[in-house]
Amino acid sequence: MRIGNDFPTPAPVINPETEAFWAGTLEGKFLIRTCTACKENYWYPRAKCPFCHSFDTEWLESTGKGTIYSYTVNHKAPGEFAASGPSVIAYVELDEGPRVITNIVDCDTDDLAIGTRVEAVFFPAGDDAAIYRFRPIA
């Protein structure tokens, strides 16, 4: 089954802790946070490290590449996503370590497997952000 990239791209809720992340998406960058105290990289962006609780954190530009850690093919989506047909929901483990939840696009579901290499792609979502999704690396 072919999965495209024609899903809705609703504008995200942007707050002060995520503003830099969403600004980066407009430039095709996938930013994560890194803790300068314990050296752990993490996702979802927030000022306080979830590992050691330090506020000594900073932005890190990831490669935007990783591997599929887990995924499912969703055949019944709610709301505005229902008309888009089946979608792939996945956890992607970034090369820098954190796992992010996302959609996998531009693929045949028969070609997906845990461990498949993927890269971030960005779709405009208003003036202040782009929605990230991942696609298999050719």
Instruction: Give the fold, CATH level 3, of 14-136.
Output: OB fold (Dihydrolipoamide Acetyltransferase, E2P) (2.40.50)
Q: Give residue limits of the domains in the chain.
A: 14-136
Q: Each residue's pLDDT tens digit in the chain (138 positions)?
A: 888 878 888 899 999 999 999 999 999 999 999 999 999 999 999 999 999 999 999 999 999 999 999 999 998 877 887 777 788 999 999 999 999 999 999 999 999 999 999 999 999 998 999 999 999 998
CB 69 within 8 A of CB 85: no
pTM here is 0.92
